[in-house]
Structure 1
Amino acid sequence: MWYVVLGVVIILLAACIKQYYQLAQMRQQVDYLKPLIDTVENVKDIIYYCEIPQLKYHYLSPAVNRFGPNIHEEHMKDPYKIFDMVHPEDYEKLENKASGKMDFSKPLTIRLLDDKGNYVWFEEYATPVYKDGKLVALQGIFRNIDDKMKLQQQLEYEVSHDGLTNVYNRTFFQTKMGLFNKIKDVPMGVIICDLDQLKYINDNYGHQTGDRLIIEAADILTNCANEETIIARLGGDEFAILLPNTTEEDVVALINKVIQNLNYHNSFNENLQLHMSIGYSYIHSSIRNMECLYNEADHQMYTAKSAKRVLARLRK
């Protein structure tokens, strides 16, 4: 009988020794993984693992608290809160991701609202998780790219805008001309404006005064236009305006509005008047007609300028 008891004791002892070694190995693994876990917990990127289609976080890194206090706790309880933070223009992107309809080989770029009321740009790399061939979860990393996006937007702005007046530049204008000439067929009006006697002003009052008049002219044109109107400084004292999806009556109305604003400006600046010569043209179909449209408006502008010169000589 004693050998049976001895056998049981040996088996129990062996089990205890095995369990001890297993616990020791687990402690080693925990000690080994602890620096990695600490790194993940302290990284600035937002890391997550979330079940879909019914959203449920298995993990969400504390970095999400950069959006405000208690955000981590709130989102763990209600994963759908991210839809309250996303920019309206990016809402559909987030919906497509949550339903697994996005292209997971490409990063997702979205804006999320922080507790200060600012939208912050993030780039997300999401990886789908499958079980038995079915998409069951998403895991990914949100990386703050706000500085990068703002720099990119600034560079894009500088490439497309005139440095002096902040209206569009010649390059952007020519690009839009090509678009409406070859691809996008719309009713189109073109207005060409040229400041009068700018050389005289530069020679007698200095180029800084001339630049100030150019800026004021751009401001008047901008204040008279709507969101769809494209205003560009082609160089020197010449401006061009594209009015897509409009009527000829609207083109004429804009010119009259510009003239009214010029007169109003001059009523407060008797010593330094701002005058423009203006020409326009209009057509119902822009395709293959933009060059002729521009030339006609430009010709009308020079005709108006020549008439002013003749009138000025007659008055002398």
Structure 2
Amino acid sequence: MELIYFCLGLIVGAVIIQIIYIKYEKAKWMTKFENEKRIFELVESSKDLIYYYEVKPEYKFRYISPSIEQLLGEGLVEKGYQNPYYVFEHIHPDDYNLLYGKVNGYGDYSKPIIQRWRDEKGEYKWFEEYATPIYENGQIVAIEGIMREITDKVKLQQELNYQITHDVLTGIHNRAYFEQIMEKYNKDIDTSIAVILSDLDELKYLNDNFGHKTGDVYIKEYSKLLKQYFKENSIVARIGGDEFAIIVLNANLDQVKYHCQNFSDKISEYNLNSKGIKIKVSVGYAFSEHSIGNMEKLLAEADKNMYQDKNKKKSESLIK
């Protein structure tokens, strides 16, 4: 009888252990399920764009987070699944090579990828992406990544860069930017180059007799003429109160002479048509076939020639 009770006890114990084990496995599975569910819900509700893009054996989206529709437009999840080449139509043309390189294993995945994507309104938004390639047998088979919109951040940075490099009054480049360009062509880039300096005559007279607002109009009108005339292969900057500089790239000496004479004619034409301020300016230029090591000499030579032009005009006015 004791043996029977003992055997029954073993059986009951085994059943209890089995029940406990089943409950444990169920609890573990439920925990795993809940964790996966929680992760899925986090991904689905994320404002960032999360994706998994298969590239082999063929291009195919395995996952696109719903946030793409808030970022770029409705219906893009379905369109992406239906047409995996759809993304190549929405990337900015200048960023196409970034996308192509990324999906073909040519990208630098250690750094964020900055790119622009077109939304349903036809406007481009900036995104910062962290992408991870998936390999099998040494070949890239998929890309998974997360993209965050940074349009406001980029616009703010562009605005700050603009303020740092541009003159507040005229909107043309400032002295700091001019000096950066001078250094770049003096040390890093060798090309034929000209430096043209110009100085607004009678600015002090206008400021003293008609006020600084009139002087500001004088400066802005001249800056406008500079911007309109010197466009291609040229950098225009205000480097002092009444002093301006133009760097002309990839030109020969005859072209530089032509530009100076033709611009002088434009000023004369402006003065004929102007009922207000008449622009009077002294100009000097210097040219070199090679920029490296010559920029400071060019600046000094152009400055010397500009003051020769100014003194010549003063002498001519005294004779008259």
TM-score (norm 1): 0.88
Distance 1:16 1:86 in 2: 57
Please tell me whether the aligned partners of residues 189 and 292 of structure 2 are also in contact (alpha carbons under 8 angstroms). yes
- Give matches, 1:39-118, under 5 Å: 39-53=42-56, 54-65=58-69, 66-118=71-123
Alpha carbons 2:195, 2:298 under 8 Å: kept: yes
Q: Is the 8 A contact 2:284 2:305 kept in 1?
A: yes
Q: 1:25 to 1:225 in 2, by over 3 A?
A: same
> Are residues 1:224 and 2:242 paired?
no
**What secondary structure does 2:304 align onto?**
helix
Matching residue's letter, 1:39: L
Retained in 1: the 8 A contact 2:104–2:140? no
Equivalent residue number for residue 157 of structure 2: 152
**Structure-2 separation of matches of 1:97 and 1:192:** 47
Cα gap change, 1:271/1:93 in structure 2, threshold over 3 Å: closer, same or farther? closer
Count of aligned residue pairs for this structure pair:
302
State the distance in 2 between where 1:16 and 1:100 align.
51
Residue in 2 aligned with 1:10? none
Of 275, 291, 300, which residue of structure 2 is paired with 1:295? 300
Letter aligned with residue 163 of structure 2: E
The amino acid of 2:49's aligned partner reads: I
AA matched with 1:226: K
Matches within 5 A, 1:147-296: 147-296=152-301
- For residue 305 of structure 1, the aligned residue among 310, 313, 318 is 310
Give the conservation status (yes or no) of the 8 Å contact 1:162–1:233. yes
User: How many Å apart are 1:28 and its aligned residue?
Assistant: 5.1
**Matches of 2:20 and 2:296, distance apart in 1:** 90
> What stretches of structure 2 of length at least 5 have no aligned partner?
1-17
Do the aligned partners of 1:224 and 1:257 also contact (CA within 8 Å) in 2? Answer: no
Amino acid aligned to 1:108: I
Give the TM-score taking structure 2 as reference length. Answer: 0.87
Q: In 1, Cα distance between the equivalents of 2:189 and 2:134?
A: 42
Asked whether the 8 Å contact 1:279–1:299 carries over to 2, the reply is yes
CA deviations 1:262-314 (Å, max 9, x no partner) are 22222233442111111111121122221221111111111111111222223
Structure 1 residue 232: deviation in Å? 0.9
Aligned amino acid, residue 56 of structure 1: K
**Could you tell me the percent identity over the aligned residues?**
40
Partner SS for 2:108: coil
Q: Structure 2 CA distance, aligned partners of 1:183 and 1:136?
A: 41
Q: Which residue of 2 aligns with 1:11?
A: none
What are the superposed Cα offsets for residues 195-217 of structure 1, whole Å, 9 maximum, x if unpaired?
A: 01100000011111111111111
Q: Is the 8 A contact 1:86 1:113 kept in 2?
A: yes
Alignment CA distance shift 1:137-1:308 (3 Å): same
Paired with 1:123 and 1:207, the residues of 2 have a C-alpha distance of 46
Deviations 1:51-107 (A, max 9, x none): 124221111111111312211111111121111111111111111100011121111
